[in-house]
Amino acid sequence: MIKNFLVAWREALRWDMRFYAWAGFLLLIIAAGINSYIDQMNRGLIVTAMRDQVSWGFYIANFTFLVGVAAAAVLLVIPAYIYNFKPIKEIVLFGELLAITAITMCIMFIMVDLGQPLKVWHIMPFIGTMNFPSSLLAWDVIVLNGYLLINTVIAFYTLRGLSVGREYKMSVIAPLIILSIPWAVSIHTVTAFLYNGLSSRPFWNASILAPRFLASAFCSGPALMIILFQLIRRLSRVEIEDRAIFKIAELIAYAMGINLFLLGAEVFKEFYSGSIHSTPMRYLYFGLHGHNRLVPWIWTATAMNITAFFLFLMPKTREKPVTLNAACILMITGIYIEKGMGLVIPGFVPDTLGEIYEYSPSASEIMITLGIWAAGALLYSLLVRFAVPIYTGRLRFSSSKHQ
């Protein structure tokens, strides 16, 4: 089996101009990112724009967005396995590979945010002194790593079954798939609770936070998948039915509908009651005492989300490639702003002593972030190239153990 695994990797890395040009391009960005990270290691997090007032920034914003992307893989799993909707079932593997990639990127974003990355073992269960169950960050370590493990096992078990031309045993995989559904919900819920549980930060300390996290994740994650599926379909022999893509697009419309409703509920409560706890939201949408760096961003995001919602909602636009892809890009960008910087920064503005420190990421933060995104793109490309020959049946191993 190890031999087959290596053969499959050799197949994945086979010469292909287009792929190697892509990989080379990504490696250049990764190298620039590593270069910036080495500088950050040498000089400390002072190279970022984060300070005591805004102690989390772009890294944690990206982390939060990507947890949502990872969680959204479940949206494919539910119709695929529970309702046996065949067109989606056939492509759920690529969703799981995306979840693996997104979680790996999440872990990288946390690592570059740590002041003492070498001491990260202190947070591990058994070897460190994990503050469980008290710290939500400890919960996050458990659910994220667990999710990574579950998706890795499901994806590679499926691929192994396919590689020997055998339908995988449902009795083995079904419990894991069932488990992966609440687990996907849990990773984004726990990540929301991480912010939600802090009474010091009224912007996050709203019960609506976790439901909004889930609703928005179920928009951005599947939108990203629709784009990726079309790319996979175009660049390989994998057949992905339009029906599957349109179904996903329809589900996005419902998720965005819920997300917009929840946003409306939040906006009403904050602005109608108008207590001092609405200050961060005023900063986000209208600016505060002349400080309004986030204002154009959040309104852009809002416009994008609403436009995308209608494009996904109407069958005519969601089933036309141009408008579908436009909707996906608007949705991904809108949620990236809203659930990234738009979520993290207002938590710190004004800070707990009333100071306003306007944050925007430094060049180092942007370079390191680009490096991690490039690493994620490379990892996903490799995983897909590994999976495609097995998935299409081009690569088959004899199932006999003696050969």
Partner 1 sequence: MNRRDFLQNAALGLAGIALSADRSDASFWDAFFQKHFREMDENEIKNVIVRIEKEYREKFGKDITVGNEKPLPGVLFGYGLDLSRCIGCRRCVYACVEENNQSIDPQIHWITVLRFKKGDKWVDLENSEKYYDPPKVPEKEHFYMPVQCQQCENPPCVRACPTQATWKDKDGIVVIDYNWCIGCRYCMAACPYGARRFNWAEPKRPAERINTKTHYLGNRPRYRGVVEKCTFCIQRTRNGRYPACVEACPVGARKFGNLLDPQSEIRYAIEHKRVFRLKEDLNTNPKFYYFFAYGR
- Residues that bind partner 1 in the complex, under the rule CB under 8 A: 43-46, 48, 50-53, 55-56, 110, 113-120, 122-123, 126-131, 134-138, 141, 194-195, 198-201, 276, 279, 347-348, 350-355
CB of 24 or CB of 354, closer to partner 1: 354
* Cβ at position 305, least distance to partner 1 in Å: 26
- CB-nearer residue toward partner 1: 15 or 126: 126
* Min separation Cβ 282 and partner 1, Å: 11
Q: Judged by CB, which is closer to partner 1: 84, or 199?
A: 199
Least Å distance, CB 144 to partner 1, is 12
Closest distance between partner 1 and the C-beta of residue 154, in Å? Answer: 28
Q: How far is the CB of 280 from partner 1 (least distance, A)?
A: 11
Q: Which is nearer to partner 1, 6 or 46 (CB)?
A: 46
43 vs 396, beta carbon nearer partner 1: 43
Task: Please check whether residue 283 is in contact with residue 294, taking contact to mean a CB–CB distance below 8 angstroms.
Answer: yes
CB neighbours (10 Å) of residue 115? 7
CB nearer partner 1, residue 124 or residue 172:
124
Nearer to partner 1, 118 or 322 (CB): 118
> Shortest Cβ distance from residue 349 to partner 1 (Å)?
11
In angstroms, the CA 109 to CA 106 distance is 5
Closest CB 283 distance from partner 1, rounded Å:
11
CB of 66 to partner 1, least distance (A): 17
The rounded distance, in Å, linking the Cα atoms of 396 and 4 is: 9
* Of residues 97 and 343, the one with the C-beta less far from partner 1: 343
Q: Which is nearer to partner 1, 12 or 112 (CB)?
A: 112
Q: How far is the CB of 218 from partner 1 (least distance, A)?
A: 26
Q: What is the SS3 assignment for the chain?
A: CHHHHHHHHHHHCCCCHHHHHHHHHHHHHHHHHHHHHHHHHHHCHHHCCCCCCCCCCHHHHHHHHHHHHHHCHHHHHHHHHHCCCHHHHCCHHHHHHHHHHHHHHHHHHHHHHCCCHHHHHHHCCCCCCCCCCCCHHHHHHHHHHHHHHHHHHHHHHHHHHHHCCCCCCHHHHHHHHHHHHHHHHHHHHHHHHHHHCCCCCCCCCCCCHHHHHHHHHHHHHHHHHHHHHHHHHHHCCCCCCHHHHHHHHHHHHHHHHHHHHHHHHHHHHHHHHCCHHHHHHHHHHHCECCECCCHHHHHHHHHHHHHHHHHHHCHHHHCCHHHHHHHHHHHHHHHHHHCCHHHHHHHHCCCCCCCCCCCCCCHHHHHHHHHHHHHHHHHHHHHHHHHHHHHHCCCCCCCCCCC
Residue with tokens 């990203």: 224
**Between 35 and 55, CB nearer to partner 1:** 55
Rama region for 239: left / alpha / beta (φ>0; ψ in -120 to 50; rest): beta
Strands (E), 40-131: none
Could you say which DSSP state residue 47 is in?
Answer: G
C-beta of 5: minimal distance to partner 1 in Å? 26
